[in-house]
């Protein structure tokens, strides 16, 4: 009986009433291509890539006072009212001082943001598509969530963005690289290289 009701009402179900387009029209209509002409005859050949060098966190700072201070701030936090009812601190904060405040070691981590490090240009680096970091608040890898706002942090020592563009009218390929070296101060540099096709 249920199947018979479905088939007898199939036409009216397909032609739904309302402001939205009905199924029949939606399945037969075409969508016009929205063409945006290039103001300048240049386009990106590939998505821009971010390359990052970074170091591991450590609770042993370069000076004794820094080490004592880091551990005291963590101890005050977990023993203070911030971790008492009705508040609750997560296991990571309760078990390691690095989750609250840390210094930087000279060691490079093996993994970051769900990716293993790569040896690129003689340096151990981590890569990511620029769009993955800038266009989404969360990145998911192997079921683990990463907040993209934390891609750059205190353990980042340098970050560079590289893109490749091509100008068909001139047969010219260009690589553009912008690099920031992060330490007590920030230094920026850029390089532009052009390659003429034959």
pLDDT digits (tens, 9 = 90+) for 161-190: 999 999 988 899 999 999 999 988 889 999
Mean pLDDT of 65-72: 92
Closest CA to 127 of 42, 51, 19, 48: 51
Distance CA 149, CA 155 (A): 14
With the CA atoms of 125, 130, 136 and 138 taken in that order, what torsion angle do they form, in degrees rounded to the nearest 10?
0
pLDDT, mean of residues 118-124: 88
Q: How far is CA 135 from CA 48, 101, 114, 143, in A?
A: 13, 28, 18, 19
Q: Which of 10-19, 68-77, 110-119 has the lowest mean pLDDT?
A: 10-19
Look at residue 14 in the predicted model and tell me its pLDDT.
66
Rounded alpha-carbon distances, angstroms, from residue 56 to 47, 91, 101, 123, 142: 28, 20, 13, 15, 22
pTM of the model: 0.68
Average pLDDT, the chain: 88
Q: What is the pLDDT of residues 6-25, one digit of tens each?
A: 788 777 766 656 656 777 78
**CA 53 – CA 155 distance, rounded (Å):** 9
pLDDT at 26 over 80: no
């Amino acid at each position: 009986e249920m199947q018979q009701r479905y088939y007898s009402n199939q036409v009216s179900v397909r032609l739904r009433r309302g402001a939205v387009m009905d199924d029949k029209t939606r399945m037969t209509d075409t969508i016009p291509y929205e063409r945006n002409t290039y103001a300048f005859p240049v386009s990106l050949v590939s998505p821009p890539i971010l390359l990052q060098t970074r170091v591991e966190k450590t609770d042993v700072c370069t000076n004794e006072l820094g080490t004592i201070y880091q551990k005291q701030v963590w101890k005050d936090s977990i023993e203070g009212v911030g971790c008492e009812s009705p508040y609750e601190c997560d296991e990571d904060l309760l078990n390691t001082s690095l989750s609250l405040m840390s210094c930087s070691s000279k060691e490079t981590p093996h993994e970051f943001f769900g990716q293993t490090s790569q040896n690129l240009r003689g340096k151990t680096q981590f890569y990511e598509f620029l769009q993955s970091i800038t266009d989404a608040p969360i990145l998911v890898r192997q079921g683990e969530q990463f907040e993209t706002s934390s891609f750059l942090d205190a353990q980042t020592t340098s970050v560079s963005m590289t893109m490749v563009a091509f100008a068909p009218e001139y047969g010219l390929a260009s690589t553009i690289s912008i690099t920031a070296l992060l330490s007590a101060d920030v230094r920026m540099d850029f390089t532009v290289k052009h390659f003429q096709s034959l």
